[in-house]
Amino acid sequence: MRLILSLIFGIFVIMFVGNILLTEFPSLNPIFEEGKAWLSSMYNMSVVKYGAAATGILIIGLLFLVGDKKR
């Protein structure tokens, strides 16, 4: 449960910082749009190849790997 809450908190922090960066530095907007398009195409290719359920499980697994802290 703590891991899920920390992942959600991390996503909100990234969204908050990203919003501030895009507001203060509008020249970063094309880079952000390109990254968004790349992630969208990767998601769509994964859905076509593995299916929606497997893609969701892959995304959740990646979030757990990124959010896992070794102490």
Domain boundaries, given as residue ranges, for the chain: 2-67
What predicted TM-score, i.e. pTM, was given to this entire model? 0.65
Task: Render each residue's pLDDT in the chain as its tens digit; 71 residues.
Answer: 777 788 788 888 888 988 898 889 889 889 989 999 999 999 999 999 999 999 999 988 887 887 776 65
Residue type, 49: K
The two tokens of residue 9 are 């908190």
